[in-house]
Amino acid sequence: MATGDKLIEVRDLKKYYNRGAIKALDGISVDINRGDVAVVIGPSGSGKSTFLRSLNLMEEPTGGSIVFDGVDITKKKVPDGSGKLVRLDIDRHRQKMGMVFQHFNLFPHMTILQNMTLAPVQVRHMPQAQAEEKANQLLKRVGLGDRAGAYPIQLSGGQKQRIAIVRALMMEPEVMLFDEPTSALDPEMVGEVLDVMKELAHEGMTMVVVTHEMGFAREVGNRVLFMADGRLLEQNEPHALFDHPQHPRLKDFLSKVL
Amino acid sequence: MEHFIQAENFGKIAPYLTLFWQGTAVTVLMSLFTVVIGFLLALLLATMRLSRFCPLAFLGVDKEGRLRDGGVLLAVSRFNPLAFLATAYVEILRSTPVLVQVFIIYYGVFGALVTLPKFTVLGFIKFERFVPGIVALGMNSGAYLCEIIRSGIQSIDGGQTEASRSLGMTQMQTMRFIILPQAIKNILPAIANEFVVIIKESAITYTIGVQDIMSAVNAVRGATFIIIEPLLVATAIYFCLCFPTSKIIAYFERRMSRGDRR
């Protein structure tokens, strides 16, 4: 599914706290190609989430660059079509990057349908009826066609996360970022969320997934990135990485989680 | 020894009932104006306190265009004059007695700086005393409401903002569709409480000659030398204003929270 066509180009990405005393990201360089399912693994505190959250600027990096669709989104000003410097419109780029959070972050004061149609209607000016039709189709696909009128509190964790995924899909993103999407779920609900993600991967969606689900990484990922101490220590296709780890930190990590 | 309350005294003050009705109208009108002024002021103040307006931000960036790691320049670059002014206002208003504020507004601002035309509205509202009253009370409750609104907005989980922004919504859209609807629901009990406080606190404006309920008590005392019974009437009126108000808002609070329950 991977095309070799670069979608996100990350160069020497750095994120420091406390005057550089804490280096959450210490120079990460990686390319995400269209159609990639890149799974980021590593011990906690290794900077996986910070890396993922930097990709759509939920965290502002201290240094380095992120070129998304040909635009360096870490710059405050970027050249427009005619080469004139204009203020970077981060909201426009975020529309193209769907994000799924560990704690779902559904909007509790809205029904499922409202959760899904708000952004397409407000941001993309899609007619309400069209947005609702699209939302209902997506809900059916994830097996929640009958819950459109429910409020988030009425759903289980697994259902909430499936809603969060389709809510992001409503914006028709070019890439989906998953920040530990199954870590807050009861074990019996992990499968239903991973199934939705798997289906998405098979459809060719570009995905960057931070997870502790090694099975998912091995089965669905076409690349696995291993991070520790804010650095990208090893990356490979999953079978090579899991079966023949090179870096001692990776060997140590795998011996603990597998 | 005389009785504390004498039934015939109620009969004696009955002719002055109109004063109480007029006083009640003044108190209610004054509270409504005050809460509107206070709420608008509070919205402005809370926006100022939560703003990210830093005119010296350029000092925090080094020659290569990166944020400095620390130091005096970084601290100076984060100075937000809007937030500073709003915070100073709130702290000063909350740390001084409301009676002092009412006197300063009435004798100071409207006594020396601004001259209001003298006329009466509806035949019993003295404009030149009513306006300083609502301005002073509004300024005072604005400070309290600002803190209520600010804490309400800040109490919304940061994940809500992140989810909204990740969908491409702007900061304004996030505020309007995601943060404020949830924040208002959370702060409604506190705002209702503040409105009830304003009704009661408005009694203080009788000291600058606003003819509210307390002023009616005073007028009746002057004419009849009876004090306890008019006070009891005033107490009953205040209770009848405040108690239903808090109950009505509690009803709406329950209705709005339907999304939170199964």
B191 part of a folded domain: yes
CA distances from A218 to A10, A211, A249 (A): 23, 12, 19
**Nearest chain A Cα distance for residue B167, angstroms:** 5
Other Cβ atoms less than 10 A from the Cβ of B102: the count is: 23
Please give the pLDDT value at position A131. 96
DSSP chain B: ---SS-HHHHHHHGGGHHHHHHHHHHHHHHHHHHHHHHHHHHHHHHHHHH----TTGGGGB-TTSPBP-SSHHHHHHT--HHHHHHHHHHHHHHTS-HHHHHHIIIIIIIIII------EETTTEEHHHHHHHHHHHHHHHHHHHHHHHHHHHHTS-HHHHHHHHHTT--HHHIIIIIIHHHHHHHHHHHHHHHHHHHHHHGGGGGGGT--SHHHHHHHHHHHH---HHHHHHHHHHHHHHHHHHHHHHHHHHHHHGGGG--
Please give the pLDDT value at position B262. 41
* Strands B120-121 vs A231-236: parallel, antiparallel or unpaired: unpaired
Q: How confident is chain A (258 residues) per 10-residue block, as mean pLDDT?
A: 77 85 90 93 92 92 89 81 79 93 94 96 95 96 93 94 96 95 92 94 94 92 93 93 93 90
Residues of A in contact with B170 (CB under 8 A): 91
CATH classification of the domain holding B190: 1.10.3720.10
B72 part of a folded domain: no
B255 or A30, which is more confident: A30
Structural domain of residue B195, as residue ranges? Answer: 7-49+79-257
Please give the pLDDT value at position B77. 81
The per-residue pLDDT of chain B, averaged, comes to 86
Lowest mean pLDDT among B99-103, B113-117, B131-135: B113-117
∠ Cα A145 A149 A152 (to 5°): 95
Give the span between the Cα atoms of B8 and B234, in whole angstroms. 17
Q: How confident is the model at residue B66 (pLDDT cuts 50, 70, 90)?
A: low
What domain count does chain B have? 1
pLDDT in tens, B202-223: 999 999 988 889 988 988 888 8
Give the span between the Cα atoms of A223 and A36, in whole angstroms. 7
pLDDT in tens, A138-178: 999 999 999 999 999 999 999 999 999 999 999 999 999 99
Please give the pLDDT value at position B258. 61
B71 part of a folded domain: no
Residues of B in contact with A16 (CB under 8 A): 69
Residues of A in contact with B159 (CB under 8 A): 101, 103, 105
Residues of B in contact with A91 (CB under 8 A): 165, 168-170
Cross-chain residue pair B259–A110, CB shorter than 8 Å: yes
Please give the pLDDT value at position B69. 66
Please give the pLDDT value at position B63. 66
Residues of A in contact with B164 (CB under 8 A): 107, 119
Please give the pLDDT value at position A145. 92
Residues of A in contact with B163 (CB under 8 A): 99, 101, 105-107, 164
B39 part of a folded domain: yes
* Mean pLDDT of the B186-196 span: 85
Please give the pLDDT value at position A181. 94
A248 or B74, which is more confident: A248
B157 part of a folded domain: yes
Which residues on chain A place their C-beta less than 8 Å from a C-beta of chain B? 16, 18-20, 56, 58, 62-63, 91-92, 94-99, 101, 103, 105-110, 118-119, 122-123, 151-154, 164, 167-168, 171
B61 part of a folded domain: no
CA distances from B238 to B28, B75, B206 (A): 10, 50, 15
User: Which residue in chain A has the smallest CA separation from B164?
Assistant: A119
Both tokens of A211, joined, read 């997870």
Has residue B68 got a pLDDT over 80? no
Cross-chain residue pair A151–B177, CB shorter than 8 Å: no
Please give the pLDDT value at position A165. 96
Both tokens of A252, joined, read 């140590």
**Nearest chain A Cα distance for residue B258, angstroms:** 9
Residues of A in contact with B167 (CB under 8 A): 94-95, 98, 118-119, 123, 167-168, 171
User: Which residue in chain B has the smallest CA separation from A118?
Assistant: B177
A23, A99, A101, A105: which to substitute to probe chain B, counting the most B Cβ within 10 Å?
A105
Q: Which member of B66, B159, B262 has the closest CB to residue A154?
A: B262
Beta-bridge mates of residue B70: none
Has residue B61 got a pLDDT over 90? no
Q: How confident is the model at residue B7 (pLDDT cuts 50, 70, 90)?
A: confident
B67 part of a folded domain: no
Please give the pLDDT value at position A240. 93
User: Which residue in chain A has the smallest CA separation from B166?
Assistant: A94
User: Which residue in chain B has the smallest CA separation from A60?
Assistant: B67
In whole angstroms, what separates CA B134 from the centre of its chain?
10
B122 part of a folded domain: yes
Q: Under 8 Å CB-to-CB from B11, ≥6 apart: which residues? A: none
